[in-house]
Structure 1
Amino acid sequence: MDVFPDFDGLAGIGDLKEVVGALLMFALAIAVLMLVVSAIIWAVAASHGNYATASKGRVGVLVALGGAVLAGAGVAWMNWLIGIGQHL
């Protein structure tokens, strides 16, 4: 049995794919910028002995990594679900 979603069933689905791809690119770019800024804040604050700000920089790094992982894994997860749908 070959079951696959009909991506051409809706009008404008090509435009929707482009918008989602652009949003994913912005999410990944913002996550990378946040990672760089938070890492710099973490390093400068730790070297100056300001451990409260260093802790906030560390949290920013972890949030940026989590956001990048979630944004990148969303595409892989959706492709995995589509692949499973073919085998049901």
Structure 2
Amino acid sequence: MSLAKQAVQLAYNPGITPSDGGLPGLAVLKEVMGSINLFAIILVVGALAVSAGVWAWGHHSGGHQAEANGKKGVLVAAGAALLLGAANGVVEFFSALGTQVH
């Protein structure tokens, strides 16, 4: 096979695009993923509350290690909340970016 034919084979577009309604149970899967996202957000709220409590306790008791761990926990929980809230937008952004690759 010549080099030109190999290059054409590498650039071949299979023509596959995401479509709604292709498989049964798509609506159920969307509901399940939404519920998992909700539970994760609820867990993050709990983690944020616990971390803030550890931070406050460490600050008022002079426990520098507990205070530092509480700060880290608050930052991690805030980051997780940001990612969970932005999950749809992040996936949509990179999916749209991926469709521009030729």
Q: TM-score range by the shorter chain?
A: 0.7 to 0.9
- Report the count of equivalent residues: 85
1:56 aligns with 2:69: yes
Secondary structure at 2:24 match in 1 = coil
Cα distance, 1:79 vs. partner? 3.4
* Unaligned runs of at least 5 residues, structure 2: 1-16
Structure ID, larger Rg: 2
Structural RMSD (CA): 1.9
Normalising by the residue count of structure 1, what TM-score does the alignment of the two structures yield?
Answer: 0.82
Q: Following the alignment from structure 2 to structure 1, what is the Cα–Cα distance between the partners of residues 30 and 21?
A: 11
Q: Following the alignment from structure 1 to structure 2, what is the Cα–Cα distance between the partners of residues 67 and 80?
A: 18
Q: Following the alignment from structure 1 to structure 2, what is the Cα–Cα distance between the partners of residues 55 and 65?
A: 15
1:43 aligns with 2:56: yes
Relative to its length, the structure with more helix (as a share) is 1
Secondary structure at 1:45 match in 2 = helix
Percent of residue pairs bearing the same amino acid type: 36
* Unaligned runs of at least 5 residues, structure 1: none
Normalising by the residue count of structure 2, what TM-score does the alignment of the two structures yield?
Answer: 0.72
Q: Following the alignment from structure 2 to structure 1, what is the Cα–Cα distance between the partners of residues 61 and 98?
A: 54
Cα distance, 1:78 vs. partner? 2.6
Moved over 2 A (4+): 78-88
